[in-house]
Amino acid sequence: MTTYAIGDLQGCYSALQQLLEKIHFDPASDTLWFAGDLVNRGPESLQSLRFVKSLGDRAITVLGNHDLHLLAIAEEHKSTNDQGLKDILNAGDSEELLYWLRQQPLLHHDPVLGYTLVHAGIYPHWNLYQAQTHARELEAVLQGEQYRDFIFNMYGNQPDKWQDELTGFDRLRFICNSFTRMRYCNEEGVLDFSNNGAPGTAPENMAPWFAIETRKTKQDQIVFGHWSTLGLVKKENIFALDTGCVWGGKLTALALEDEPPQHFSIDCTAAANPADFVKK
């Protein structure tokens, strides 16, 4: 019985099946943890979403920014040219899939394994208990009757620093951005959304969230994805698993029960062109 954490799928269902074959995944005994972004940019978003949902309690996934973007498109708050997302919206089981998606958590913690799963990371000024509390706060909105109101107020980079006094959509937006979009911040806790390159490419006062000296979760083992230019990282309780499958990199699984955790990867064929997503 093994728990495998897997990096961002982004609609690369065929690659996932190859990876599961490589690790000899047994749905009767093994469990899969997905680091979010099941959909978008890859060609098989519908198949990916259906498959993960079909695994029931043999799979755990956290919400990523692309998953939330799909929910915004479904509410006609955003539009898309991505055929994979259009396939989901046009599918006969679309409503069921979207409902299932927004029931998924932003953070999953397993006290027995001693690992915490998130999409982008945990805000450095939060300890694990605070992160769990704030995650549940937003999850309750996404799973409740007010989720459309939040979706229409989800986008934006402000506020860029946490304050306990934050309220309303500003508070929820910061929580959302921290769990699903964060890469860099400074020691004061100000988030930087303008840089997504590998460490060393951001301004000197900005560091990866996990490298902040005063980070409160240094003793917690954190598994995350989101950051393809970061690549595979396994050090100091940090396990980064987005190895850029959709860009022609790899799809990676981490066996959490192994000591130390062992990773398995397969080579992927590029399903998206980075030039298509450069901001004009």
Encode pLDDT of 49-85 as tens digits: 999 999 999 999 999 999 999 999 999 999 999 999 9
CA atoms within 13 A on the CB side of 114: 11
Which residues neighbour 31 within 8 Å (Cβ) at sequence distance 6 or greater? Answer: 1, 2, 3, 4, 58, 59, 60
**Predicted local confidence at residue 179, as pLDDT:** 98
User: What SS3 class is residue 3?
Assistant: strand
Q: What is the pLDDT of residue 274?
A: 64
Q: Are strands 207-208 and 107-110 parallel, antiparallel or unpaired?
A: unpaired
Whole-number mean pLDDT of the chain? Answer: 96
- C-alpha 180/C-alpha 235 separation (Å) is 21
pLDDT digits (tens, 9 = 90+) for 85-138: 999 999 999 999 999 999 999 999 999 999 999 999 999 999 999 999 999 999
Give yes or no for residue 278 having a pLDDT over 60.
no
Q: Rounded to whole angstroms, how far apart are CA atoms 167 and 173?
A: 10
The pLDDT tens digits of the residues spanning 157-166 come to 999 999 999 9
pLDDT at residue 275 in the model: 60
Q: How many CB atoms lie within 10 A of CB 54?
A: 10
Q: Is the pLDDT of residue 182 over 50?
A: yes
Asked whether residue 273 carries a pLDDT value surpassing 90, the answer given is no
- Distance CA(117)–CA(62), nearest Å, equals 7
Looking at residue 279, its pLDDT comes to: 46
Local structure of 37: helix, strand or coil: coil
Distance, in Å, from the CA atom of 172 to the CA atom of 194, rounded to the nearest integer, reads 20
How far is residue 257's CA from residue 84's CA, in Å, rounded to a whole number? 34
Q: What whole-number distance in Å separates Cα of residue 168 and Cα of residue 176?
A: 13
Contacts of 253 (CB under 8 A, 6+ apart): 4, 5, 6, 7, 19, 23, 241, 263, 264, 265
Contact (CB, 8 A) for 222 and 215: no
Architecture per CATH, domain 3-277, reads as: 4-Layer Sandwich (3.60)
Q: What is the pTM for the complete model shown? A: 0.96
pLDDT at 280: 33
Phi and psi torsions of 257, nearest 5°: -75, -20
pLDDT value of position 21: 98
CA–CA distances in Å: residue 103 to residues 42, 57, 170 = 23, 13, 22
Which secondary structure element, helix H or strand E, spans residue 33, and what is its range?
strand 31-34
CA separation for the pair 141, 81 (Å, rounded): 28
User: Nearest Cα to 235, choosing from 256, 257, 260?
Assistant: 260
* String of DSSP letters for 192-217: E-S--SSTTSS-TT-EEGGG-TT-TT
pLDDT over 70, % of the chain: 98
Q: Considering the chain, what percentage of its residues have pLDDT values greater than 90?
A: 96
- Overall size of the chain counted in residues: 280
Q: What is the pLDDT of residue 95?
A: 97
Residue 23: pLDDT above 70? yes
